[in-house]
Chain A
Amino acid sequence: MQDVVLAMLAKEPSHGYGLHRRLRLALGLFGEALKPGQIYVTLARLEKAGLVCCEQSEGLPERPDRKVYSLTAAGQQRVAAWLTEVSWPKPDLAEFHLKLAAAAAGQLADPLALVEAQRRELLRRLADVQRSAIAESAGSAIAGSLVEGVVLRLQADLRWLEACARVWSGSGKEPGKS
């Protein structure tokens, strides 16, 4: 969140409310989940780290205490570095895989039951996203690309769980040993 807020400020100085509004718009269907408090907490941390500075805006009479934030030189450097990064969020597949292995090895739980529970949860998440996407007939194409990415990733995870179910149901609880 810190990098995103910094990058938004690179365009122009802004107050917290304006940042929140722009981020919500960019997130499309998912925008409602973003609370203003998350922006203000992030801005406070960035200010403490010397990446943004703020000044009181003359602003509107009804909101005299409004702060306008802008990037410091250090903040600008951090945005430049962030844009050239090629990191990619890593899915927690290894952890779930190890959970299955540990559950089976210690006879703590049935791996197939764990897979099924996980599958149901992901299917429900996918249902939430799909229903929102169906109801939202005229979203922007840019925000829609995030929806598509989330849907494709959930779909891939569900297919992986299906593969897990095949392995764990056919191997006598010991994947890799036939």
Chain B
Amino acid sequence: MTDPGGGYLLRARGLAKVYGRRAMVRASDGSDLLGVPGVQDEEQRVVRAVDGVDLDVRAGEVVAVMGPSGCGKSTLLHLLGGLDRPTGGQVWLAGQRIDTLSERALARMRRTSIGFVFQASHLMEELTAAENVELPALLAGISPRAAKRRAAGLLGQVALADRARHLPSALSGGQRQRAAIARALSNAPQIVLADEPTGNLDSAATLEVLRLFAELRSGGQALVLVTHDERVAATADRVIMMRDGIFTGETSLGHTPRGLGSVIGLGG
């Protein structure tokens, strides 16, 4: 039997999210306006945040979605990760259709198969860095001892081993975001979805996060990130441009190493 997900780790077809609904607009004399000039005013009440997009992501692939504020890229990420229900289209993760799952099944899938990273780290302020990273594993039913061991390993991977016992308030912006990434990896997800993951970071901290993402790729995990930052998008395998809820273009950045000389006007 063929894989309904097309063999891709993540597949979306005709994915749509429409907010609002047609409202009955009445003229001041109480009569219906439907069917007469002016009815287009009703259409403006409908917001097509995501308007029927197709997306395929392979295991180990990094895909960036770029676009201006309000273009629908965050909504898209929420639909792909089962944080929001689409009003149209389908989403498959590892061959399983997820847009029709029950809330309970969806929550389980989010816990075990998807890692989320947001612009704000959303760490629990009363828990240490290590406890924050342990939490998703504990919620997934991992034993406390195993969760602790896994968290220690992940904090080492994001170079925060010496900050494991610190509360988030004692961490820098870059450290908080690295802790959030470690938390996202707690259950070894197949895919990480990141929404403006470097939005609050300076250049040096951004580079730290991008190095972590590069390690994810080499570990075979897929990454879909939405960003308005070209520096972040440029590290992806593919960059998809989005505007008004639809994809307007795609650039493949490949991996062919080229000399940097031309960038600064040096060399041949």
- The reply to whether A123 and B207 contact each other, CB–CB distance below 8 Å, is no
Of chain A, the residue at the smallest CB distance from B211 is A134
Residues of B contacting A126 in the complex (Cβ-Cβ under 8 angstroms) = 230-231, 234
- The reply to whether A29 and B211 contact each other, CB–CB distance below 8 Å, is no
CB distance from B58 to the nearest CB of A (A): 18
- The reply to whether B260 and A128 contact each other, CB–CB distance below 8 Å, is yes
- The reply to whether A155 and B231 contact each other, CB–CB distance below 8 Å, is yes
A56 at the interface (CB under 8 A from B): no
Identify which of A30-38, A63-71, A100-108 touches chain B: A30-38
Of chain A, the residue at the smallest CB distance from B251 is A120
CB distance from B253 to the nearest CB of A (A): 4
Given A30-B260, A128-B263, A129-B263; A134-B234 close (CB under 8 Å)? no
- The reply to whether A33 and B253 contact each other, CB–CB distance below 8 Å, is no
> Bound state CA distance, A35 and B268, in angstroms?
9
B112 at the interface (CB under 8 A from A): no
A54 at the interface (CB under 8 A from B): no
- Assign chain A's interface to a size class: 20 to 34
Residues of B contacting A120 in the complex (Cβ-Cβ under 8 angstroms) = 251
- The residue from A119, A137, A154 contacting B211, defined by CB atoms under 8 A apart: A137
**CB-CB contacts below 8 Å: B226-268 with A:** 229-231, 233-235, 239, 249, 251, 253, 257-264, 266-268
**CB-CB contacts below 8 Å: A27-69 with B:** 27, 29-30, 32-35, 38
B214 at the interface (CB under 8 A from A): yes
B31 at the interface (CB under 8 A from A): no
- The residue from B239, B253, B260 contacting A132, defined by CB atoms under 8 A apart: B260
Residues of A contacting B261 in the complex (Cβ-Cβ under 8 angstroms) = 30, 32-34
> Bound state CA distance, A78 and B19, in angstroms?
67
CB distance from B257 to the nearest CB of A (A): 8
Residues 180-224 of B, flagged 1 when their CB comes within 8 A of A and 0 if not, give 000000000000000000000001000100110010000000000
> Bound state CA distance, A155 and B231, in angstroms?
7
* Chain B CB within 10 A, most for which of A123, A137, A150: A123
Residues 145-186 of B, flagged 1 when their CB comes within 8 A of A and 0 if not, give 000000000000000000000000000000000000000000
Residues 130-147 of A, flagged 1 when their CB comes within 8 A of B and 0 if not, give 111110010000000010
Residues 88-125 of A, flagged 1 when their CB comes within 8 A of B and 0 if not, give 00000000000000000000000000001001100111
> Bound state CA distance, A90 and B156, in angstroms?
45
A-B contact pairs, 16 of them (CB 8 A): A27-B264, A30-B263, A32-B259, A35-B268, A116-B249, A123-B230, A123-B234, A123-B253, A126-B234, A127-B235, A130-B234, A133-B207, A134-B211, A148-B203, A155-B230, A155-B231
